[in-house]
C-alpha cells in the first residue's frame, strides 16, 4: 500500500502498541510532547507508533475519516498478525481525536476489540473553529455554499479552496469539516445531549459491547438467511469487550474553541455523551471508564504552559495502567 509507520523503541518484544494520530497538516512528531509520550509508553510496556497515512500532512484535504479508518485498520491488522499485538491504545491530537472516535465506531469489530484505551487530546470542533469570529464565519458560509454547489453538481472531489493558503481542500471534505452534522462534526458545543450521545456513546466498554452485540446479531441474520457462507463468515469479536478506557483531555485556553464557551461544562457534556447518561448522575458500571482532564491555561497543542504537556503525558501513562487492570 506504500503506507509507513514509525515505531519506538526500535527493538522490543512488547505486545502492547500505542498508535498516535495527529491533526490537520500533522505527520511525524505532531506535538512537542510526542517524544516524552513515547518514553512514558515504553516505561509502561507499550511500543509507540506514528503512522503516516494518506491524510497526513497535506493529504487530509482530499481524504475522509472513512479512508483513515480503513488505513488504520490495515495497521492494526498488521500489528496483530505480524507483531503479535494483543492490546492497542489510540492517542489522538485535535482532528486525530475524530480519527479515534470514528475508528471505534466503524472499524471491523475484530480490530475494535484490540483497542483497550483512547486518549483524546484537544477534541475540539473544526466547524466551530471555522466560525470563531464574524469575519471567519462569513468566509466559512461562502465556502460551504460553494462546496455544497459542487457536490450537488457531482463534483464532490474537486478542490474548492487552498486551505491555509497551501492545502487543497475538496468539496466533500470541506462539508465534512465545516457543515453541521458533517462526518468530522463530533464535538460541537451546540449539539444537544442526544446528539452528543449519538456520536460518542461507543467510547466506553458498554458502548463497545452494544456495537459488538449489534454486529453479532447482524452476522447471525446473514448466516440464517444464507447470504454469508464460506469466507464471508463472521469477523465479530467475542462478547464482552475486554474493556475500553477513555481519557478526554481538554485545554482550557484552547485558541480554537469559541471564546464564550463554558469549557468545564462542555467537557462534562462530552464525557456524559460517551457514558450515555445525563450530567450529574452517578457513574455506573462499565461506563465509568471515561475520565476527563482539564488542562488549566493550556493551549491547543500543549506547548504552553510548561506543565501542560507533562501533565497530559502522565495522565496517558495512568490510562494505560488502568486499561490493563492496574498492572
Residue 70 is predicted with a pLDDT of 98
Nearest to 202 by CA among 287, 315, 122, 321: 287
CA 45 to chain centre: 22
What nine digits make up the cell of 170?
Answer: 475538496
- Residue count of the chain, please give it: 327
Do residues 274 and 203 touch, judged by C-beta distance below 8 A? yes
- At 231-244, the pLDDT tens digits run 333 455 667 889 99
Tell me the CA distances in angstroms from 111 to 88, 255, 263, one per residue in order. Answer: 9, 34, 33
- Quote the CA–CA distance of 194 and 105 in Å, as a whole number: 17
311, containing H or E segment? helix 306-323
Task: Report the alpha-carbon distance of residue 200 to residue 163 in Å, rounded.
Answer: 28
DSSP for 163-214, please give it.
ETTTEEEEHHHHHHHHSTT-TT--S-TTS-HHHHHHHHTTSSHHHHHHHHHH
CA distance 176 to 186: 10
- Note the pLDDT of residue 218: 64
Output the pLDDT for position 39. 98
Task: Write the CB contacts of 260 (distance below 8 Å, at least 6 apart in sequence).
Answer: none
State which residues of the chain have pLDDT below 50. Answer: 221-222, 227-234, 278-281
pLDDT score for 232: 36
What 8-state DSSP symbol labels residue 63? -
Q: Report the alpha-carbon distance of residue 58 to residue 312 in Å, rounded.
A: 27
Query: pTM of this prediction?
Result: 0.91
Cα–Cα dist 259/133, whole Å: 9
Per residue in 176-190, pLDDT tens?
A: 999 999 999 999 999
In whole angstroms, give the CA distance from residue 9 to residue 101.
Answer: 26
Distance CA 98, CA 64 (A): 11
Amino acid at each position: 500500500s506504500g503506507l509507513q509507520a514509525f515505531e519506538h523503541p526500535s527493538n522490543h518484544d512488547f505486545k502492547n502498541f500505542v498508535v498516535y494520530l495527529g491533526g490537520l497538516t500533522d505527520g511525524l512528531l505532531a506535538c512537542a510532547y510526542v517524544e516524552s509520550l513515547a518514553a512514558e509508553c515504553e516505561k509502561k510496556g507499550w511500543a509507540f507508533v506514528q503512522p503516516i497515512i494518506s491524510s497526513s500532512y497535506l493529504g487530509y484535504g482530499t481524504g475522509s475519516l472513512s479512508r483513515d479508518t480503513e488505513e488504520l485498520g490495515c495497521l492494526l491488522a498488521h500489528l496483530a498478525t505480524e507483531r503479535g499485538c494483543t492490546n492497542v491504545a489510540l492517542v489522538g491530537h485535535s482532528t486525530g481525536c475524530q480519527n479515534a472516535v470514528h475508528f471505534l465506531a466503524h472499524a471491523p469489530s475484530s480490530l475494535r476489540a484490540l483497542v483497550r484505551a483512547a486518549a483524546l487530546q484537544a477534541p475540539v470542533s473544526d466547524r466551530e473553529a471555522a466560525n470563531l469570529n464574524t469575519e471567519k464565519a462569513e468566509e466559512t458560509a461562502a465556502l460551504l455554499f460553494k462546496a455544497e454547489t459542487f457536490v450537488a453538481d457531482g463534483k464532490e472531489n474537486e478542490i474548492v479552496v487552498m486551505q491555509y493558503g497551501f492545502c487543497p481542500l475538496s468539496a466533500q471534505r470541506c462539508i465534512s469539516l465545516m457543515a453541521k452534522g458533517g462526518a468530522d462534526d463530533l464535538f460541537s458545543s451546540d449539539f444537544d445531549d442526544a446528539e452528543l450521545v449519538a456520536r460518542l456513546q461507543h467510547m466506553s466498554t458498554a458502548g463497545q459491547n452494544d456495537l459488538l452485540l449489534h454486529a453479532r446479531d447482524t452476522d447471525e441474520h446473514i448466516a440464517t438467511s444464507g447470504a454469508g457462507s464460506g469466507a464471508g463468515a463472521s469477523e465479530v469479536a467475542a462478547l464482552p469487550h475486554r474493556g475500553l478506557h477513555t481519557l478526554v483531555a481538554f485545554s482550557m485556553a484552547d485558541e480554537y474553541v469559541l471564546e464564550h464557551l463554558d469549557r468545564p461544562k462542555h467537557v462534562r457534556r462530552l464525557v456524559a455523551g460517551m457514558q450515555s447518561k445525563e450530567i450529574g448522575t452517578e457513574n455506573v458500571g462499565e461506563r465509568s471508564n471515561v475520565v476527563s482532564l482539564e488542562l488549566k491555561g493550556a493551549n491547543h497543542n500543549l506547548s504552553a504552559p510548561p506543565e501542560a504537556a507533562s501533565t497530559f503525558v502522565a495522565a496517558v501513562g495512568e490510562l494505560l495502567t488502568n486499561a490493563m487492570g492496574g498492572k
